[in-house]
Amino acid sequence: MPETILIIDDEKAIRDSLAEILADEGFLPLTAASAEEGLHILDEQETDLVLLDIWLPGMDGLEALKLIKQRFSLPVIMISGHGTIETAVQATQSGAFYFIEKPLSYDKTVLVIRRGLQVARLERENRLLRESEPPLPTITGNSPVIRRLRQQIERVAPTDASVLILGKHGTGKELVAQTIHRLSARNRQPMIAVNCAAIPEELIESELFGHMKGAFTGATETKKGKFDQADGSTLFLDEIGDMSLKSQAKVLRILQEQQFERVGGSRTIGVDVRVLAATNKNLEEEIERGHFRADLFYRLNVIPIEVPDLVDRPEDIPLLVADFASQFRRKGMGDKQFTPEAFHLLQRHSWPGNVRELRNLIERLMIMTPSEVIQEEDVATSLGSTSGVPQRAMQTGTSYQHLAYKNARRQFETDYLRAKLEENDGNVSKTAEDIGMERSHLHKKLKALDITLK
Ligand SMILES: Nc1ncnc2c1ncn2[C@@H]1O[C@H](COP(=O)(O)OP(=O)(O)OP(=O)(O)O)[C@@H](O)[C@H]1O
Ligand SMILES: [Mg+2]
């Protein structure tokens, strides 16, 4: 389809000759002798670009430009016989794409029009791309506790203060850290996250501070650590309660001096890093037990933020469900509605795995429910199939009763551990803590039962 170009000029000769040339170039020209008439045409007809004279009877071109820019999103090229630098500047500030002077060079006019159309096309494409991108994750909820959490985040985010984020598994601690970073002046660089529980004790220093070539067996290259990578940005020390005392001492020093040495290196490196930390442990108790340094705690705890349990804010569940359902819909899992009874059941559950457990459940429901509407029974079945698997099976007596004791036990252990692992996103340390079993023992059990991790 040819692109439509509206020429607004009070000189008939100009309108006619421009229209002729534009038609020759394959455009569809429209003409108007005044701004008022031009605006009327824009209201009526899909237009791609406007050529607008500055001097017009009635409403002048600059005023018309402002109105056009307010109401439509299309490039406007200003034309004038009496162009001064000032009007040109004014026009550009009001959003004109370009400013050309009379007498018009037709070649140049066509060139500028083509460029204007191209820029508009790119902008349109960019906008479409942006709109199709998933929105940044946000803290969903409208309960008083979540509103307070959001306020705390907004207050602390623009500062450089260390923040200690406390909360149970799956409450959204990492999401809080991300949100603080995003609302801070450091947001042009990504936040660097370190999971202190996932890194073996002997590697954590090199992970955080980097190492020099040859510092230890296997250090074949000099490597930057997370503190280096986070220079000018934010470092998120996740599960800080699981860090060894030795590493805690080093982290404390950085927080105090903003400098450190690489493992095996002697040069002191200065960095500008904001530290956010999170834990689900009670650090005061850990201090008493001698597992956590009091001085580090006070340093990190400049601003403590507590993320509430999901069970304390059941009123947020419908919002969270809507949020997750639309996330999964974007991933192509279809469109499902929840009945009010289904919501009630979700609101009565105790959610030991908090928001993560809810999110996993919604995902499972969207995949497993064949109908468009998710009913209370679907939720009940799904809730039963995670944490409740063994209990349910025991109650109904279906799957274990016919088995010999040894096999029944094996079956029970398998079901139970699978469910618990799933609840904890396959994280062995968390599962071990959750069920009160030694991590190494759990590992052996999983191996013995032939349970593989996702
Ligand atoms: N208020 C919320 N609104 C929307 N999504 C949330 C909210 N809270 C948590 N989530 C989602 O729940 C999941 C778990 O959150 P997150 O990983 O931040 O929890 P966590 O406290 O760090 O958990 P863990 O202690 O197990 O590491 C994520 O998918 C996160 O996006
Ligand atoms: Mg986390």
Question: Residue 139: its pLDDT value, please?
Answer: 94
Q: 390 falls in which pLDDT band (50, 70, 90)?
A: very low
User: Does the CB atom of residue 273 touch ligand 1 within 6 A?
Assistant: no
Residues in the chain: 454
Question: Do 30 and 93 fall within a single domain?
Answer: yes
Question: Do 74 and 55 fall within a single domain?
Answer: yes
CATH number (domain holding residue 361): 1.10.8.60
Ranking 226-240, 276-290, 327-341 by mean pLDDT, the lowest is 327-341
* Ligand 1 atom 29 nearest Cα: 356
User: Does the CB atom of residue 171 touch ligand 1 within 6 A?
Assistant: yes
Domain boundary pick from 98, 132, 166: 132
Report how far apart, in Å, the C-alpha atoms of 153 and of each of 111, 175, 180 are.
Answer: 50, 11, 6
End-to-end CA distance of the chain: 52
Question: Residue 135: its pLDDT value, please?
Answer: 63
Residue 256 lies in a domain: yes
Identify whether the C-beta of residue 316 lies closer than 8 Å to the C-beta of residue 351: no
Contacts of 189 (CB under 8 A, 6+ apart): 232, 233
CA of 137 to the centre of ligand 1 (A): 10
Neighbours of 288 (CB within 10 A): 11
- What gap in Å lies between CA 126 and CA 131, rounded to an integer? 9
Domain count across the chain: 4
Residue 277 lies in a domain: yes
Write down the mean pLDDT value for the chain.
Answer: 88
Question: Residue 132: its pLDDT value, please?
Answer: 67
Per-residue b/e over 140-166, b at no fewer than 16 CB within 10 Å?
bbebebbeebbebbeebbeeeebbbbb
Question: Residue 404: its pLDDT value, please?
Answer: 67
Domain boundary pick from 293, 308, 323: 308
pLDDT at 357 over 50: yes
User: Does the CB atom of residue 240 touch ligand 1 within 6 A?
Assistant: no
Q: How large is the average pLDDT for residues 285-314?
A: 94
Question: Do 15 and 86 fall within a single domain?
Answer: yes
Question: Residue 395: its pLDDT value, please?
Answer: 45
Q: State residue 195 phi and psi, 5-degree precision.
A: -95, 100
Q: Ligand 1 atom closest to Cα of 141? A: 1
Tens of pLDDT, residue by residue over 79-123, are 987 667 788 888 888 899 998 888 889 999 999 999 999 999 988
Residue 206 lies in a domain: yes
CA of 288 to the centre of ligand 2 (A): 24
Task: Write out the two tokens for 93.
Answer: 């500030």
Rg from Cα positions in the chain: 32
Residue 390 lies in a domain: no
CATH number (domain holding residue 96): 3.40.50.2300
Question: Do 252 and 315 fall within a single domain?
Answer: no
Q: Ligand 1 atom closest to Cα of 169? A: 25
Report how far apart, in Å, the C-alpha atoms of 89 and of each of 95, 99, 102, 110 are.
Answer: 10, 9, 17, 22
Q: How large is the average pLDDT for residues 362-374?
A: 88
Question: Residue 399: its pLDDT value, please?
Answer: 53
Identify whether the C-beta of residue 273 lies closer than 8 Å to the C-beta of residue 234: yes
Q: 387 falls in which pLDDT band (50, 70, 90)?
A: very low
User: To the nearest whole percent, how much of the chain has pLDDT over 90?
Assistant: 53
Domain boundary pick from 308, 328, 360: 308
* Ligand 1 atom 28 nearest Cα: 356
CATH number (domain holding residue 270): 3.40.50.300
Question: Do 26 and 123 fall within a single domain?
Answer: yes
Q: Ligand 1 atom closest to Cα of 323? A: 4
Question: Residue 133: its pLDDT value, please?
Answer: 64
Q: How large is the average pLDDT for residues 379-392?
A: 63
The bound ligand whose nearest atom lies closest to the alpha carbon of 324 is 1
Ligand 1 test: best mutation among 174, 179, 313, 427, most atoms within 8 Å of CB? 174
User: Does the CB atom of residue 141 touch ligand 1 within 6 A?
Assistant: yes
Residue 392 lies in a domain: no
CA of 177 to the centre of ligand 2 (A): 9
Question: Do 338 and 276 fall within a single domain?
Answer: no
Question: Residue 86: its pLDDT value, please?
Answer: 81
Question: Do 412 and 435 fall within a single domain?
Answer: yes
Q: 396 falls in which pLDDT band (50, 70, 90)?
A: very low
Which residues form the domain of 352?
Answer: 311-384
CA of 53 to the centre of ligand 1 (A): 56
Question: Do 157 and 171 fall within a single domain?
Answer: yes
User: Does the CB atom of residue 280 touch ligand 1 within 6 A?
Assistant: yes
Burial tier of 21 (Cβ tally within 10 Å: 0-12, 13-18, 19+):
middle
CA of 309 to the centre of ligand 2 (A): 14
Residue 67 lies in a domain: yes
User: Does the CB atom of residue 353 touch ligand 1 within 6 A?
Assistant: no
Q: Among all chains, which residue has been given the structure tokens 């340093």?
A: 299
Ranked by mean pLDDT, the top range of 116-125, 142-151, 254-263, 320-329 is 142-151
CA of 199 to the centre of ligand 2 (A): 14
Residue 99 lies in a domain: yes
Question: Residue 393: its pLDDT value, please?
Answer: 45
Ligand 1 test: best mutation among 312, 356, 361, most atoms within 8 Å of CB? 356
Q: Ligand 1 atom closest to Cα of 359? A: 12
Question: Do 289 and 417 fall within a single domain?
Answer: no
* Ligand 1 atom 16 nearest Cα: 172
Q: Ligand 1 atom closest to Cα of 430? A: 26
- What gap in Å lies between CA 241 and CA 228, rounded to an integer? 22
Question: Residue 329: its pLDDT value, please?
Answer: 87
The bound ligand whose nearest atom lies closest to the alpha carbon of 238 is 2
The bound ligand whose nearest atom lies closest to the alpha carbon of 427 is 1
Question: Do 198 and 242 fall within a single domain?
Answer: yes
Question: Residue 401: its pLDDT value, please?
Answer: 61
Residue 24 lies in a domain: yes
Ranking 1-5, 119-123, 156-160, 198-202 by mean pLDDT, the lowest is 198-202
Question: Do 121 and 227 fall within a single domain?
Answer: no
User: Does the CB atom of residue 323 touch ligand 1 within 6 A?
Assistant: yes
Identify whether the C-beta of residue 221 lies closer than 8 Å to the C-beta of residue 215: no
Question: Residue 215: its pLDDT value, please?
Answer: 83
Beta bridge partners of 238: 195
Ranked by mean pLDDT, the top range of 52-61, 324-333, 364-373 is 52-61
Question: Do 302 and 326 fall within a single domain?
Answer: no
| Pick from 39, 37, 33: nearest CA to 19 | 33
